[in-house]
Amino acid sequence: MTSANTIKSKAEELVGKGQSALGDVLDDPQMQAEGKVRQASGQASYAVNSFVDCIVDGARSNPLAALLAAGAIGLVLGRHLYKK
């Protein structure tokens, strides 16, 4: 299931692509750079949101495995952070 944040990230990527293309047409290097930064930001955000959506879908389809994985991660982090 795709979340609203994933859709917003993809839209931000497309806006950045359009801004960069407009900068090319207008021969404006600052607009090109801003568009490329916006596009990269949208791509990174989309990747993170897609990963989160995948985790959420997996947890909904198999809650016991998600609970065991969360417990294992907590145990590893606890042992690692509180070593004596």
Angle of the 4-26 helix axis to the 29-61 helix axis, nearest 10: 160
Q: What's residue 1's pLDDT?
A: 64
Domains in the chain: boundaries:
4-81
Mean pLDDT of 10-27: 93
The span from the first CA to the last CA of the chain, in angstroms, equals 43
pLDDT band at 13 (very low <50, low <70, confident <90, very high): very high
Residues in contact with 18: Cβ distance below 8 Å, sequence separation at least 6, in sequence order: 35
| Contact (CB, 8 A) for 7 and 26 | no
Amino acid 83: pLDDT: 77
Q: What is the pLDDT of residue 40?
A: 95
DSSP 82: T
pLDDT, tens only, 34-79: 999 999 999 999 999 889 889 889 899 999 999 999 999 999 999 9
How high is the pLDDT of residue 2? 72
Its pTM stands at 0.69
